[in-house]
Amino acid sequence: MKALLLDVGNSRIKWGIGEDGEVHRTGQITHERIRERGLGALTTRLPHDVDAVIASNVAGPSFATRLAGVVGAHLGRELHFAKSARAACGVTNAYTHPRRMGVDRWVAMVGAWTELGQACLVVDAGTAVTIDAIDGDGRHLGGQILPGTALMAASLAADTSELPKAPPLKAADFAGLDMFAHSTRRAIQSGVLGAVVGAIERASGALATVSTEAELVLTGGDAPRLLPALGPDVIHRPNLVLHGLLRLLEAGES
């Protein structure tokens, strides 16, 4: 079976083809570009010869309806939307009401667990940063959500009278005493990056108290910026949600 996999995030849509257990022919487009040119800017890039289409969508029901209509017309296939569940593919959800968990978090955890099969901290660093802990038995221990670096910097500029806008800082410039800035703009850049890195490191430390062999798995658009600050042992999986979608589809648990 050949499947089109869609990761519909807050800022962009990523896609890939799932076939023979692997994800390939990946691509992405921003929501801004879709607003400028319409959904045709997406569908013209997608393949036609697929047997199934599955999506993780956090862009809201209105966009989901539009996307399903366009995908159906373009590919002649029904678009199936993954949903957060009590359990799937060996992962057990900690939420009392599993459907209230963002589906991207759930699918990313499935992607990480089905690859590693061991305790891990799953971090999706995008518009928002989500951090979810899984123990060695596949039990989700819970998670955290905080603003991403760009969102934090934007809130400072919007909600204060004198702080400037500050583009995100590369983590390569965030080391040792370099984290102490000599300008306001750089102080904001260093501060928001430090907040995200600090949250991840603190969560990693907490998980290590119960699972000493836990891995840190990082995905999301901000991942390349964070990697140098988190050390060499981080597992970077840019298409983690796509892999999770494929595993759910293969298992018939989507």
Instruction: Please report the sign of the dihedral spanned by the C-alpha atoms of residue 238, residue 131, residue 139, residue 202.
Output: positive
What residues contact residue 224 under an 8 Å CB cut-off, 6+ apart?
A: 236
- Is the distance from CB of 70 to CB of 39 less than 8 angstroms? yes
Task: Name the residue with tokens 């971090």.
Answer: 123
From residue 232, give the alpha-carbon distance in Å to each of 44, 167, 235: 38, 25, 8
Say if CB 57 and CB 103 are below 8 A apart.
yes
Active site residues: 104
